[in-house]
Amino acid sequence: MTFVKVALAFALLCGSLLLYAQPGIELHGGLTSSVIKVKAENGNSSSPPSFVRRYSFHLGLLASFPVSELSAIETGLYLSSRGTTVENNAFWGFDITLSSISINYIEVPFLFTLEPGGFKLFAGPQYSILASAKAEGEDIKRAFETGNLELRYGFAFQANKFGGRLSFINGLTDIYKNPEWRWKNNAYTISITYALVKPKSTAKSKKSDVPHRTLD
């Protein structure tokens, strides 16, 4: 149900933006480095679980809708494999003492961008939908929230059709269903980008199509 709501909102947003601009579309893929930040709730005196970073991949499409010559709105869909390595019996309810946890998300970012010079700066919220969660082959999806809100920001550059992008992702809501601990995602991604379609403002195009009248 959550996925359907996000998909409908995403389609409505794209439809509205299409009235103003022809979007640029980029293919993104690359490295994801992720870890889970843990904080104990009040009254919990237990030692926090020990996590280390996990390295994986991401792949997706991003659409860029020009707002002006120097700014744009970006949104898209990513498949991102995240997770962490767990130590010291961190996972309650599962017989796991040392495990690599794989948590896969469908990410839907909504970003505002500025392009001073040849670089692009971006920031905005992102909603990540839980696709799967496994540890040592065991399905642990039921232990996690179905979705979470995050902040995504970073910078990018483009040289002809190819470019690069560095993104930082900070979790804003809890991902784990345990009242004694607050688990939040934390990650960064390094992407190689390829421009499939260049962005174009339809408002600017329509203005340029209006014939100019000259005085005799």
Model confidence at 149: pLDDT above 90 = yes
Mean pLDDT, range 77-105, rounded to an integer? 75
Residues whose CB is less than 8 angstroms from the CB of residue 118 and which lie 6 or more positions away in sequence, other chains included: 157, 158
100 contacts 90 by C-beta, under 8 angstroms: no
CA 89, chain centre distance (Å): 30
pLDDT of residue 206: 46
Percent of the chain residues topping a pLDDT of 90? 50
Residue labelled with tokens 């004694």: 180
Fold of 2-201: Porin (2.40.160)
Domain ranges, ordered by start, for the chain:
2-201
Mean pLDDT, range 2-24, rounded to an integer? 59
Q: 41-48, long-range: CB within 8 Å, 24+ apart, which pairs? A: 41/179, 41/180, 41/181, 41/182, 44/180, 44/181, 46/180, 47/88, 48/181
